[in-house]
Amino acid sequence: MAVYGYARVSSCDQNEARQLAALQQAGAPPQGIFVDKQSGKDFHRPQYQRLVNALRPGDLLLVLSIDRLGRNYQEIQEQWRLLTKVKNIDVCVLDMPLLDTRQGRDLMGTFIADLVLQILSFVAQSERESIKSRQRQGIAAAREKGVRLGRPPAPLPESYLAAYRQWRAGALTGAQAARQCGMALSTFRYKAEMLKNNETGSLAKKCTFL
């Protein structure tokens, strides 16, 4: 029997150290632990798929909590069946002793484990949907306050202003000006339109005070 562990965090800036420590303490060797840094919305995760391919009948899979396995109610049920019935391995959820397929193999034990699995799967998906809802609300509130979201725009190259003025004067074509700045023509024109609008806005402000 081989012992494996699976850990998951939702993004690269989250730390999986607590999960790794718990899995190793429970008996999973470091080389047998697979880690994904990806959403739990489905099971299309590279390390999880590698883990499933490595599993053999009689092996043991350790996971800290059911939401680390996934956050999709229906797919958690399907994966649990795949692991325990098709792959014929044991699964132990460390923070929920009732979800340990090595225990309670009689009818009552199986019923209780199935019931607990359904409840925890439901909670895992509900939490994910709640997180997404709060994120949408936060983004909407930030936009209402005029907060700019996303990656900040790249600074203009030093040669841009000179190329822009030559283009406006007709000394350069758009393609020539774009090449001079080392950017695509569409990008050059987009930046030129923004610069033109800024110049027009600044001029309008000056006229207001005259």
Q: What are phi and psi of 56, to 5 degrees?
A: -130, 155
Catalytic residue among 10, 65, 121, 186: 10
10 is catalytic: yes
Find, among 58, 66, 56, 57, the residue nearest to 6 by Cα: 66
For residue 37, the cross-strand partners are 9
CA dihedral 162, 164, 167, 172 (to 10 degrees): 50
Chain center to CA of 86 = 29
Radius of gyration of the chain (CA): 28
Find, among 128, 120, 122, 126, the residue nearest to 91 by Cα: 120
- Helix intervals (H) in 32-106: 46-54, 66-69, 73-81
CA distances from 4 to 7, 45, 97, 124 (A): 10, 16, 17, 22
Q: Which residues are known catalytic residues?
A: 10
